[in-house]
Amino acid sequence: MRLPLYIEFEGKNVLVLGGGGVGTSRAKKFLDAGANVRVLSLDFCDELLELEKRGKVELIKGNAFDDKLLEEHISWANLVTVAIPTTDMNEKIIEIAKKYRTLVNLANDAEKTEVVVPFEGEVDGIRFAVTTEGKSGVVARKVRDSIYKMLEEDEEIIYFLKAMYYLKKYMKARNIPVQLRMKLYFVIASNPDFVSLVKKEDVEGAKRLVEKLVDEYVSGKREIDDAEVKINF
C-alpha cells in the first residue's frame, strides 16, 4: 500500500536511467523541484544536451547494464527513476537501491515501482495529484482535468481557502494552544456568518470576523460546542 506524500526535493539527488522522452520528462520534473539530477544513458535527446550546456543537468554516458557503474551512481542518489524500455535491469536496480536506501521509481513497471510519479495540478494554492497506479494514464489525466474544472468553476472554495489560511495564521500569531486551534478551525468554518461572508466573496469581512470570533472564544465570551466539533471531525 503506497502512501501519498508531497516531498521537498530541493537539494536532493536524483538519478535518471534513460535519456529518451520519458527520462527527459522525469529529469525536468525533478529539476523544477530543485533537485540535483544526473542522467545515465548511452544516448541523450537534444533537450537533455541543451540542459547540460546550461549547467542544469549532469549527463553520464554509459550503459545501465554495467553493474559497477550503476552502483556508483545509485549510491549517490536519494531517488533513482528508471526510464528505459526494458525491465531486464529492474530487479538489479531494486537490489542495489535497497543497499543504499535509495527510493526507486520504475517508469517501466507501474506494479512493482516503489515511488509513483502522479499527474498533478494546482489552482490558486490548492495542489492535487492523481494516479491509477498504472491502470490507465488516460483515465488519470481525465480525473486531473475534472478536478481542474471543478476548482476553476467553484470560486467559493478559493475564497474559503484564503479565509481559513488567515484564521490559521492569526491563531498561530496569537500563540493559541494547538488543541484549541484544532477545535476553532471547525467551529469557525461552520459559523453561519463566516460561511455567508465566504459565499459573498468578502474575504476581508471574513478575516475581520475571524479575529472577532477567535478573541471571543479565547476570552471566554463564547463557549465551544464540543458536540459540533465532534460532528465536524
Q: What is the DSSP letter of 233?
A: -
pLDDT, position 233? 44
CA 172 to chain centre: 24
Condensed to tens digits (0 to 9), the pLDDT of residues 184-205 reads 999 999 999 999 999 999 999 9
pLDDT, position 182? 93
What interhelical angle do 67-74 and 90-99 show, nearest 10?
Answer: 40
- Cell 484564503 found at: 162
Contact 151, 160 (CB under 8 A): no
* CA dihedral sign, ordered 167, 170, 174, 178: positive
pTM score above 0.75: yes
Q: 13-117: which CATH number, 1.10.10.10, 3.40.50.9100, 3.30.70.3270, 3.40.50.720?
A: 3.40.50.720
Q: Where are the domains of the chain?
A: 13-117, 156-232
CA distance 122 to 226: 34
pLDDT, averaged in runs of 10, over the chain (233 residues)? 92 97 96 97 96 97 93 98 94 96 96 94 95 94 96 93 97 95 94 95 96 94 75 51
CA distance 61 to 179: 55
